[in-house]
Structure 1
Amino acid sequence: MASNFYLDSSPVKYVSVNGVELGYREFGSGKPLLLIMGFGGTMGAWNETFVWKLAQDYRVIIFDNRGVGYSSDSRENYSLELFASDTAGLLKALEIPKASVFGTSMGASIAQELAINYPEKVDKLIFSSPVYSVDAPEAGLLKIMLQSVENNSEISPSIRKQADANLRWNGTYERLPEIRSETLLLVSTDDEYTPPVISLAMEEKLPEAQVIVFEGAKHSGERYFPEKYAEATLDFLKKEDPAES
């Protein structure tokens, strides 16, 4: 990684979407690549090496979901559909007609709703540690963790509202065939919350999908293997696109 690259080297900018202000940062240039953060995280939680590698070839946009980090909140209850609407609104505000999207954990769930509800906004999709529903049989630890957060009054209200949104989400299993974008699913063998079997089940339902299973990383593996996850993402984005290769 370039020794002088830091996420806070890019200024926070703001757009008004759905009654809230969303804070975001941008890096690099080229075709747009939007990163959607996972449960409880802010855009400052992205691995800097991961973002830096992607920004060598793409215009990388990171942002805070409503109610966390630099983004404001409203009195609305959260839902993954609302987060997807916020994300579509961010792209519209930035005058980006279509972007490739990388979503991690809850961000992958938001990206699924984005691709289903706003298909015209989505080019290629990358899901890291995805789940099609917190009620998936293999996602038991994930559901227990979310329930624990939702019921913990010492945790910030916005994070508890995120937990509630995930628990109320109806999931996408029956709707996955509606996703027309080429999709890459990234997961690792040691992911206790969304084990590889979930990604393999999603691959079967998605029209154009492939799964890469990494050895040895935990949930949201780009935090542990930023170079490997970035390389897999870049290979996928540049595939069958001579202008970018």
Structure 2
Amino acid sequence: MPYATALDGVRIGYQVSGAGQPLVLLAGQSNNHTWWDPVRADYEAAYRTITLDWRGTGISDKPDEVYSTPGFAEDVIAVLDALGLPSAHVYGTSMGGRVAQWIAINHADRLDRLILGCTSPGPAHGFERSQELRRALADPVRGGRVLVDLMYTPQWRATNPGPYPVLGDRDMPPYAKARHLVASNKHESWDRLPDITAPTLILHGSEDVFSPVANAQVLADRIPNSRTEIIRGARHAYFHEYHPVAGPLALSFLAEGQP
């Protein structure tokens, strides 16, 4: 497996498949690149897809130190540097969407088109999941079942029993999971969102309560040159369960940026 070296010397494992313009796919909190496995083929048929394992996950190094969404963004830039890529499209979901915001803000010259999925600008100005839901997720007995229900509809799960790739990296050390949670919770990009210059597509499931769907409009109102698509009936993992809808929406938007 190839590695990039971050600014602080941490090794970031990454994966590349497909051919064409580069497209970076960013996973959610406490997940590694396998988050994208069920739908990666949708994108690698037309793009050179690039994923990475966040620090603390997968094959990447797992330092026990402060993590942040701007810091994760710098890790993504390190991967682009390792591949010799001057720029790429970026599609980030959940915490990956928070990281993608910082790539767009701090590295506008490295970004072609931006897709933000099921994400938010942070707790100060965004809509957060309820305290009741937070308590349920923290419950060691119920947490796993609750998370699955937040990701997928019962109807879909009935015919797709898993395993599901979006429920977290099971091999993460506990300290790394805690570091990821704090990094995502402390994300706050509100003041800088108007600085985003890349054409932006915002995708969200209409039934998402993990990252409430109202966040889509908050982002759209704040980011210039953006548009929103709400995927009816979808929960947090809209990109997986509803990939026959979400995939074409994303691919159509990216194709607008083809030379």
TM-score between both structures, scaled by the size of structure 1: 0.85
- Establish whether residue 21 from structure 1 lines up as the match of residue 11 from structure 2: yes
- Establish whether residue 159 from structure 1 lines up as the match of residue 177 from structure 2: yes
Distance 1:234 1:86 in 2: 25
Residue 60 of structure 2: which of 39, 56, 71 is its match?
A: 71
Distance 2:112 2:87 in 1: 6
Change (3 A) 1:142 1:222: farther
- Establish whether residue 43 from structure 1 lines up as the match of residue 33 from structure 2: yes
Residue 183 of structure 1: which of 177, 180, 200 is its match?
A: 200
Match of 1:4 in 2: none
Q: Encode CA deviations 1:101-158: one digit per residue, 9 max, x unaligned.
A: 0000000000001111111111100011010013445213389639976xx9x97111
- Establish whether residue 115 from structure 1 lines up as the match of residue 104 from structure 2: yes
- Establish whether residue 204 from structure 1 lines up as the match of residue 221 from structure 2: yes
Q: Encode CA deviations 1:44-94: one digit per residue, 9 max, x unaligned.
A: 12242x210111110001110001011112343101111011111111111
Distance 2:64 2:202 in 1: 34
List alignment gaps of at least 5 residues for structure 1.
1-11
Match of 2:94 in 1: 105
**Structure 1 runs, 4 residues or longer, greater than 4 Å off:** 146-149
Aligned residues, how many?
227
TM-score between both structures, scaled by the size of structure 2: 0.81
Match of 1:220 in 2: 237
Change (3 A) 1:228 1:31: same
Distance 1:110 1:186 in 2: 15
Q: Encode CA deviations 1:12-57: one digit per residue, 9 max, x unaligned.
A: 3222223111111111100000011111111112242x21011111
Q: CA RMSD, aligned part only? A: 2.4
Change (3 A) 1:93 1:143: farther
Does the CA-based 8 Å contact 1:129-1:187 persist in structure 2? yes
Distance 2:210 2:4 in 1: 33
Q: Encode CA deviations 1:182-225: one digit per residue, 9 max, x unaligned.
A: 00000011101222221112111111100000011111311211
Letter in 1 for 2:14: Y
List alignment gaps of at least 5 residues for structure 2.
144-171
Distance 1:209 1:231 in 2: 17
3-state SS of 2:130 partner = helix
Distance 1:189 1:59 in 2: 30
Match of 1:32 in 2: 22
Does the CA-based 8 Å contact 1:143-1:167 persist in structure 2? no
Q: Percent identity?
A: 27
Change (3 A) 1:148 1:195: closer
Higher relative contact order (CA 8 A, sep 6+): 2
Decide which moves more: 177-186 or 75-84: 75-84
Distance 2:109 2:41 in 1: 27
Does the CA-based 8 Å contact 2:3-2:14 persist in structure 1? yes
